[in-house]
A and B are shown apart, each in its own frame.
Chain A
Amino acid sequence: QEPLPPVSDPTDLPASEIAAPETPATETELAQDATRKDTLFPAWSLVSTRRIDPRIRPNAGLRQPLSYYPIKGGPLLYRNFSPVLPDYSGEEPQSPWSVRMSMAILGMDDEHVSAKFQEYRDVRNGMTAGLEGHYRSGDTFLNVLGRQIGRKDQDMALDGGVAGWTQWSLLYSETPHNFAFDAKSLWAGIGTDSLTLADGMQTDLQNTATNADLAVKLGRYIAGGAQTIDESLRRQTVGAEVALISTYPLIAKASFSNESRDGVRPWSASFGFGNFVELPWVVQYDTHEFRVSAEFAKPESRYHAAASYRYSDFVNHIDSFTFDNPFRIVDAPGGLNCTFACGPATGRMGLYPSNQYHELGGTFVVKNLPFKSTFNAYVSGGFLRQDEQLLPFSTNSAAPPMRSPTNPSFNATDPAGLPRDTARTAMDTQTVLLRWNAKPSKKLAWNAEYRLYRVDNDEEPFVMNQFIREDEDIRNPETVGGIYSTVLADYAKQTLSLQGHYSLSPDMKLGGVYTHEQMNRNFREVERMTDDKIKAEFDWRVFGRVELKSWIEHTRRTTSEYEFDQYNIVQGNPAAYPMVPWLIKYDESPYDRNEAQFMATTAVTDSIMVSAHAQMTATNYSVPELGPISMAAANVTTQTSDRTAFGVRWDRRNSYGLDVTWAPTEHFSVYADLGFEAATFEMMDRQWTVNGISDPYRRQPVLESNSNWIARVRDNYYTGGLGIEASLIPDRLTLSFQYAFGKSDGQQVYSSPVGTAAVDDVNAFAPVPFRDVDDTLQHSLNPELSYHLNDHISLAAGYQWEEWDVNDYNYQGFTYSPLYTNGVAMLMGGLLPSAYSANIIYLRLKMGL
């Protein structure tokens, strides 16, 4: 940049402006209000610079902006390319207002092309607008911002106040969540708490001879009578906040918000092991949030203190729903694998319960302690309560009489048989953060931190002798005289971290971090987990041209003894079968993990910036000390290995990327990026049934078995992008072009030793790999021409092409009612959004006042 022009000769200014006063001016005297008319400030005006254009491009925000910005001096991280400086030239009319509107009309070939296309947005034919406005006069100010006005993804924000006295803000936002277009459903009453079927159909399906016959009949009903539905939620948020500043340095704030969610979402339900059905679940939620806080914050003070209270009230307006069983018209006692031959006529699902959360928090900061240090403390307590009315055990009036500790015989549909009427669950949390950070010299800094997060279970256990599984069959504990008892999660995590940083030179900095984290639990397989992490950081500005930021970290997790059947024991049913022995749950498994990350950015020339990154993570899971199996009939050899035999054995995740920006002139710039991510892991499991040939407790109590299988799972992900911004006629005609690409490529490859069928191998064949696992391909292309008529009006015309394709084994051979060994499933397509290709054209008029 050229040197700034010399300042006006000070002697041109009024003497009173430059002469030293007899007494120094105070802050108050120097605080100058440029909104007043009687000053020497040049004329100025408010300007509108926010993004209010319609949201059309789905990848908006992911591409770097391309506006020219000269690259000079050493880069720091990836340079900010576009600090938007208002384009001022000469005198501006002084106005307390600035208003800008962006109106667009869109046209597209099929706005209902796929729920995936419209997943969180509302792109359709017609008009939409954005609005930005600012007002400022003296200490009074008002700002308004609106986007997508008139659409289902619109949002508006309004804020204002009187500087130094109060500030307030209002918010309104809508977000759609489209799950499925053109899904099928046989049920009536969608969106209510009762999903019903025609009695004739239930009667017909109940009177079926075989599962195959049932599948044929069901297919006919679906083809002939299923309605086509869209499944979506609408989220609406309104909020308000007010801050009192006149009491400065004590500032008080209060806010309230309400979020509503309404609609249906595709999910499932089942009747025993014999069948399951896909249902449109009703959603009618409201979440009220109320927060108050007070803060002492005076810049000149070394102390900062804040306290806050938050109350969150979640209300589910529908706490349960019933759904007719397509395969039964009359209640009957259940069995494990029956479809039409037994089970309830109607099932009932308990939905998410209404709940309340209170949180008290406090922050305290002391600055300018010895060694130029700062001490931070944060303490918080949370209180989570849920006491909803409980449903009876079942809807099935034909279920056998049940018994409970307080009621020796009752019908499963009778709520009087419950151990208690309401949930009476409670959970408390505590959070503590203590941090001491010091920067005693320009070269040295250190940081010591302690953190505690605790979840305390305050629930009185819900104890019962039996329950009804899936409204179908009665379940008894495997333990003679055993019970079922609820167990809440309960844990505490403590973290101690010590960090130090030393600058070897102004361009080179070394850092080291040691972290010790301990998690103590109740009720799960592993009571104690300890993570010890060592991390080294290295930042280097190489010869003033390349900015390198890097770190490597090693984590070793050790655990206490792994108790396979802890969950059954604490629930009062120790004789229940645990899972496959030696299967270590991956979130409780000991491991060694190595991670590294590198990012390098360089200004190759004054107009070319290149940035590359790599992140690599490798985790090897290992075997903990194994606890005894307490199940009475167990006959287990707890072999050990240097790797976890069952469960996840190792995990790798690597990510690489390259970005290039070329801005040769202020009228032309290009941006391109490439990315690649690879995630792989390997796990082992066994197919088994009790007393079956591969039963790990009785028939094959050893690690090796032909029924073992190993899955090697891979997810690759590729991204690419290209952006061009060219000023074809300077200050008049601008071309922008953006293209984005994403491709996922997943596969699951299985291996299993092949033995003899029915003798020593449940699946005595070489497994077929799954080559198409959530494979998706997406393109997005958006050229746009924008013409600026003058400083206040611009016109733009654009075209957006999007394509999304999906290939997954779930899509192959899909039918709505597949038949399988034990029954029939009814899957109505709600989870399978269809591929799409969409073309959008738009015209946009932007006007500013």
Chain B
Amino acid sequence: RGQSETPPPEASTRPGALPLPTTAEGAKYVGAEVCAQCHYDKFVSYMNQPHSQSGDPRTPGARFGCESCHGPASAHVEGGGGRGVGNLMAFAKETAENKSAVCLQCHTRGNQALWHGSAHDQRNLSCTDCHSVHGGHNKLLAQASQLQLCTKCHKQIRQALMKSSHHPLREEKMQCTNCHNPHGSQTVRLISANSINDKCYECHAEKRGPFLWEHPPVRENCANCHDPHGSSHEPLLIVKKPLLCQRCHSNQFHPSTLYARTPAQAAAGTPVYSMQPQLLQRGCTNCHVQVHGSNHPSGKFWHR
């Protein structure tokens, strides 16, 4: 094996090619075997992940090994190694754009296809803010789980996930990427579907319909009524029923007043139950049970 010139002509002059990391002027590639002699822990972590699968043409292993990301290392080796020697791409001090550019040499497809201009790209995040390429976690995450990783910044979401009504994220039966693509998506809030509702229908396909009798705000946005990250009100409701429904509905005959108990009755210990049971427990959905839509010919008011 030998060293190659920098940069390899076919990798840098092709139209559209992203530049490979460059290091010291005139530096050449030495091969991962040389890197492994000193950086043993990094080498083993590299061998424990798909990046090292040299049989896969998509990997650094199929290109220049360690130097695919860190740049040609001959100057580093000849200078005796050490931090800063040979001007290797060391990531820690680089700008977010430069760090991401290394990963984006290859990660231009699949979930990463819409990275450019995505919310995290716009906020100056780099791949290494979330991924530790030499770490041992799934998907090379920099934390042991997605929850730990994402809630580092999205702290208000962490609070919401602690609420009594929640999706099974803290039970680890769901994770953030079940709904979001942090690398960029076609939808608001990095939702990995064409709309918020389309995402919800992936698991709640029964609510997909279309129904004979639709409930239009439900069709427009599940988040009109639900907070998917957690709520004090079952089931993930943004407001407790019946007030949730009363934000839009005040119909004739219906008891709008939850407070029908007088002060004297309250003082006498009269339970709320004895006053307006229609508004208790499930509130309006005690009777209007099919609020997500009804397929019953008599389902105009979502009773059936």
CB<8 Å pairs between A and B, sample of 14: A62-B147, A73-B93, A86-B48, A278-B281, A453-B194, A457-B210, A687-B257, A688-B252, A717-B163, A763-B257, A774-B234, A776-B232, A810-B280, A810-B281
Q: Are B164 and A60 in contact (CB under 8 A)?
A: no
Residues of chain B lying within 8 A (CB to CB) of residue A774: 164, 232-234, 240
Is B70 located at the chain interface by the 8 A CB criterion? Answer: no
Name the interface size band of chain B. 35 or more
Residues facing A in B185-240 (CB within 8 A) are: 186-188, 194-195, 198, 201-203, 205-214, 216-217, 219-221, 224, 232-234, 239-240
Q: How far is the CB of A518 from chain B (nearest CB, A)?
A: 14
Give the docked Cα–Cα distance between A774 and B235 (Å).
Answer: 12
Residues facing B in A285-305 (CB within 8 A) are: 285, 287, 295, 297, 299-304
Binds B, one of A11-19, A221-229, A795-803: A11-19
Query: Which chain B residue lies CB-closest to A720?
Result: B162
Q: Are B162 and A740 in contact (CB under 8 A)?
A: yes
Name the interface size band of chain A. 35 or more
Give the docked Cα–Cα distance between A390 and B53 (Å).
Answer: 56
Q: Are B216 and A523 in contact (CB under 8 A)?
A: yes
Binds B, one of A193-201, A582-590, A841-849: A582-590
Is A350 located at the chain interface by the 8 A CB criterion? Answer: yes
Is A729 located at the chain interface by the 8 A CB criterion? Answer: no
Give the docked Cα–Cα distance between A108 and B262 (Å).
Answer: 45
- Which one of B152, B203, B233, B234 has the highest number of Cβ atoms from chain A below 10 Å of its Cβ? B152
Q: How far is the CB of B6 from chain A (nearest CB, A)?
A: 9
Residues facing B in A251-298 (CB within 8 A) are: 251, 259, 267-270, 273, 276, 278, 285, 287, 295, 297
Given contacts A86-B41, A429-B198, A765-B262, whether A287 and B158 have CB atoms under 8 Å apart is no
Residues facing B in A411-426 (CB within 8 A) are: 418, 423, 425-426
Give the docked Cα–Cα distance between A586 and B59 (Å).
Answer: 51
Give the docked Cα–Cα distance between A378 and B137 (Å).
Answer: 31
Is B276 located at the chain interface by the 8 A CB criterion? Answer: yes
Given contacts A248-B58, A365-B108, A647-B248, whether A825 and B286 have CB atoms under 8 Å apart is yes
Residues of chain A lying within 8 A (CB to CB) of residue B217: 585, 587
Q: Are B295 and A447 in contact (CB under 8 A)?
A: no
Partner of A435, one of B64, B114, B125: B114
Q: Are A30 and B64 in contact (CB under 8 A)?
A: yes
Partner of A163, one of B28, B29, B56, B159: B56
Counting from the closest, the 9 A-B pairs by CB-CB distance are A813-B271, A302-B16, A437-B117, A297-B109, A49-B136, A21-B2, A350-B296, A139-B55, A61-B147
Given contacts A268-B289, A368-B16, A719-B158, 9 further A-B contacts (CB under 8 A): A24-B28, A297-B113, A391-B297, A523-B216, A549-B153, A748-B258, A767-B257, A818-B271, A827-B277
Is A33 located at the chain interface by the 8 A CB criterion? Answer: yes
Give the docked Cα–Cα distance between A376 and B121 (Å).
Answer: 14
Q: Are A442 and B97 in contact (CB under 8 A)?
A: yes
Is A64 located at the chain interface by the 8 A CB criterion? Answer: yes
Mask: chain B, 286-297; 1 = CB below 8 Å from A; 0 = not: 110110101111
Partner of A175, one of B2, B47, B173: B173
Give the docked Cα–Cα distance between A511 and B124 (Å).
Answer: 11
Residues facing A in B243-261 (CB within 8 A) are: 243, 246-253, 255-261
Give the docked Cα–Cα distance between A455 and B38 (Å).
Answer: 59
Q: Are A349 and B212 in contact (CB under 8 A)?
A: no
Give the docked Cα–Cα distance between A763 and B255 (Å).
Answer: 11
Is A80 located at the chain interface by the 8 A CB criterion? Answer: yes
Residues of chain B lying within 8 A (CB to CB) of residue A449: 117
Is A188 located at the chain interface by the 8 A CB criterion? Answer: no
Mask: chain A, 719-748; 1 = CB below 8 Å from B; 0 = not: 100000000000000000000101010101
Q: How far is the CB of A451 from chain B (nearest CB, A)?
A: 7
- Which one of B62, B211, B299 has the highest number of Cβ atoms from chain A below 10 Å of its Cβ? B211
Given contacts A299-B105, A355-B208, whether A120 and B171 have CB atoms under 8 Å apart is yes
Given contacts A80-B142, A580-B250, whether A820 and B277 have CB atoms under 8 Å apart is yes
Given contacts A121-B171, A316-B206, whether A613 and B155 have CB atoms under 8 Å apart is yes
Give the docked Cα–Cα distance between A467 and B50 (Å).
Answer: 62
Is A642 located at the chain interface by the 8 A CB criterion? Answer: no
Residues facing A in B126-177 (CB within 8 A) are: 129, 132, 134-138, 142-149, 151-153, 155-156, 158-164, 168-173
Residues of chain B lying within 8 A (CB to CB) of residue A429: 194-195, 198
Query: Which chain B residue lies CB-closest to A248?
Result: B57
Is A787 located at the chain interface by the 8 A CB criterion? Answer: no
Residues of chain B lying within 8 A (CB to CB) of residue A688: 250, 252, 256
Q: Are A537 and B123 in contact (CB under 8 A)?
A: yes
Give the docked Cα–Cα distance between A4 and B247 (Å).
Answer: 64
Query: Which chain B residue lies CB-closest to A773?
Result: B240
Q: How far is the CB of A529 from chain B (nearest CB, A)?
A: 10
Mask: chain A, 11-49; 1 = CB below 8 Å from B; 0 = not: 001001111110011111111111100011110111101
Q: Are A295 and B109 in contact (CB under 8 A)?
A: yes
Give the docked Cα–Cα distance between A442 and B216 (Å).
Answer: 46
Is A367 located at the chain interface by the 8 A CB criterion? Answer: yes
Q: Are A61 and B170 in contact (CB under 8 A)?
A: yes
Give the docked Cα–Cα distance between A28 and B285 (Å).
Answer: 65
Residues of chain A lying within 8 A (CB to CB) of residue B45: 85-86
Q: How far is the CB of B227 from chain A (nearest CB, A)?
A: 10
Is A548 located at the chain interface by the 8 A CB criterion? Answer: no
Give the docked Cα–Cα distance between A463 and B101 (Å).
Answer: 59
Give the docked Cα–Cα distance between A495 and B195 (Å).
Answer: 13
Is B52 located at the chain interface by the 8 A CB criterion? Answer: yes
Residues of chain B lying within 8 A (CB to CB) of residue A717: 159, 162-163, 232
Residues of chain B lying within 8 A (CB to CB) of residue A768: 259, 261-263, 266
Query: Which chain B residue lies CB-closest to A25?
Result: B4
Is A499 located at the chain interface by the 8 A CB criterion? Answer: yes
Give the docked Cα–Cα distance between A92 and B290 (Å).
Answer: 62
Residues facing B in A116-157 (CB within 8 A) are: 116, 119-121, 134, 138-139, 141, 147, 153, 155
Is B24 located at the chain interface by the 8 A CB criterion? Answer: no
Is A591 located at the chain interface by the 8 A CB criterion? Answer: no
Give the docked Cα–Cα distance between A788 and B225 (Å).
Answer: 49
Q: Are A120 and B136 in contact (CB under 8 A)?
A: no
Binds B, one of A325-333, A381-389, A553-561, A632-640: A381-389
Give the docked Cα–Cα distance between A162 and B56 (Å).
Answer: 8
Is A469 located at the chain interface by the 8 A CB criterion? Answer: yes
Q: How far is the CB of A462 from chain B (nearest CB, A)?
A: 6
Is A509 located at the chain interface by the 8 A CB criterion? Answer: yes
Q: How far is the CB of B192 from chain A (nearest CB, A)?
A: 12
